[in-house]
């Protein structure tokens, strides 16, 4: 039986149309690259635009081919559903980051300028983009919440996976503690009075601002502090009396206040004359000192010069 070639066959028409779609997509991709090369000078923008156009053309061609080979609308919807599910699995983190960006834009757990901590990363928010948030890092190898100078990018999907600690939203103050240990023979009552005096003098304006912010914060959240004024707590250690000064400080002023208080405390302690700082000490003595006599057992054995039992 001779082979008959039907140019009007539906299958042949689909194949020819598919080839046309592929050819047009290829030509559009090449043409777009030439246009981008001619009118865009910056290398990074040129690369991004070219990639975006190429991927868009390829996606459009794929959808047209799928629609062409789908006999029924239900089959097309099934294929698109499968493609969509596969894309969602492959781009899970990207889609979650976009959802995180929407959450940040609507509920605003943080904004530009806020100091936050997420998943152990701390910093000031300098930019919020669709897929990630950029922080100016603080802490790490730098003490007292100072900037390291590094820009850190964190994915926006972290807002769904980790707790977000906002240092500045609503209440722009944090509690800080300064610990000083004096010897037991020191005048610890005078030391406590000195710490309390300097704290009340330097932190008085801070306390007033904190009380005002706290009144506004209490309207939205169940936040209640009975005492906002500085206080000095006492505790005993093995080498002295430890005085812990607890006080409020602005989020971005903790190091300055700590420095000023430390300078004043050390100066007043020296002027007082009966307050000395305590620190752990160790004393090492050789075994032949009087403290270890000839009858002292060594390593659990009998004295070195003891007589044998009769």
CATH of the domain at 265: 3.30.70.100
Shared domain check, 83 and 16: yes
Structural domain includes residue 298: no
Domain count, the chain: 3
- For residue 299 the two structure tokens come to 């390593």
Shared domain check, 180 and 159: no
Q: At what angle do helices 254-272 and 188-202 cross, to 10 degrees?
A: 140
Sorted by sequence, the CB contacts under 8 Å of residue 253 that are 6+ apart come out as: none
Shared domain check, 194 and 153: no
Cα–Cα distance between 275 and 187 in angstroms, integer? 6
pLDDT along the chain (310 residues), means of 10: 58 81 87 81 74 81 76 63 70 84 89 91 90 89 81 93 86 86 93 89 76 75 74 91 90 84 90 89 66 52 49
CATH number for the domain harbouring residue 119: 2.30.30.60
Q: pLDDT at position 283, please?
A: 67
Cα–Cα distance between 126 and 266 in angstroms, integer? 38
Shared domain check, 132 and 60: no
Q: pLDDT at position 66, please?
A: 74
Q: Which of 100, 135, 166 is the last residue of a domain?
A: 166
Q: Which of 126, 142, 166 is the last residue of a domain?
A: 166
Structural domain includes residue 291: no
Domain that holds residue 180: 173-272
Q: pLDDT at position 164, please?
A: 92
Structural domain includes residue 303: no
Cα–Cα distance between 283 and 267 in angstroms, integer? 30
Q: pLDDT at position 12, please?
A: 75
Cα–Cα distance between 153 and 135 in angstroms, integer? 6
Q: Which of 119, 148, 166 is the last residue of a domain?
A: 166
Shared domain check, 247 and 198: yes
Shared domain check, 180 and 138: no
Q: pLDDT at position 211, please?
A: 78
Q: pLDDT at position 307, please?
A: 47
Shared domain check, 52 and 16: yes
Cα–Cα distance between 46 and 60 in angstroms, integer? 21
C-beta of residue 189 within 8 angstroms of C-beta of residue 267: no
Alpha helices, DSSP H only, in the chain? Answer: 10-39, 43-69, 73-90, 92-107, 158-161, 188-202, 204-217, 254-272
Structural domain includes residue 141: yes
For residue 144, which of 126, 114, 162, 122 has the smallest C-alpha distance? 122
C-beta of residue 148 within 8 angstroms of C-beta of residue 219: no
Structural domain includes residue 40: yes
Shared domain check, 182 and 152: no
Structural domain includes residue 229: yes
265 burial level (CB within 10 Å; 0-12, 13-18, 19+): buried
Shared domain check, 177 and 159: no
Structural domain includes residue 223: yes
Structural domain includes residue 278: no
Shared domain check, 178 and 257: yes
Shared domain check, 153 and 80: no
Shared domain check, 203 and 222: yes
C-beta of residue 250 within 8 angstroms of C-beta of residue 172: yes
Q: pLDDT at position 72, please?
A: 59
């Amino acid at each position: 039986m001779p082979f008959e070639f039907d140019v009007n066959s539906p299958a042949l028409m689909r194949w020819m149309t598919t080839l046309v779609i592929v050819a047009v997509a290829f030509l559009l991709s090449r043409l777009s690259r030439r246009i981008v090369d001619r009118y865009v000078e910056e290398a990074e923008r040129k690369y991004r635009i070219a990639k975006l156009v190429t991927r868009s053309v390829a996606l459009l061609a794929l959808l047209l081919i799928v629609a062409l080979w789908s006999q029924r609308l239900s089959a097309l919807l099934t294929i698109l559903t499968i493609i969509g599910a596969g894309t969602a699995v492959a781009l899970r983190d990207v889609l979650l980051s976009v959802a995180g960006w929407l959450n940040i834009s609507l509920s605003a757990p943080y904004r530009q300028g806020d100091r936050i901590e997420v998943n152990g990363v701390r910093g000031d928010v300098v930019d919020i983009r669709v897929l990630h948030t950029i922080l100016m890092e603080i802490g790490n190898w730098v003490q007292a919440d100072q900037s390291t100078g590094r820009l850190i990018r964190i994915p926006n999907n972290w807002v769904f996976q980790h707790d977000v600690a906002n240092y500045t939203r609503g209440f722009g103050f944090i509690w800080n503690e300064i610990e000083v240990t004096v010897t037991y023979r020191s005048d610890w009552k005078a030391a406590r009075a000195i710490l309390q005096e300097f704290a009340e003098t330097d932190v008085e304006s801070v306390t007033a601002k904190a009380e005002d912010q706290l009144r506004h914060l209490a309207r939205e959240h169940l936040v209640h502090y009975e005492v906002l004024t500085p206080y000095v707590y006492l505790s005993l250690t093995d080498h002295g009396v430890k005085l812990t000064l607890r006080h409020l400080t602005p989020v971005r002023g903790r190091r300055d206040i700590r420095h000023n208080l430390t300078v004043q405390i050390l100066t007043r302690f020296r002027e007082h004359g009966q307050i000395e700082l305590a620190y752990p000490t160790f004393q090492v003595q050789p075994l032949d000192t009087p403290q270890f006599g000839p009858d002292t057992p060594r390593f659990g054995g009998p004295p070195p010069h003891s007589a044998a039992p009769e």
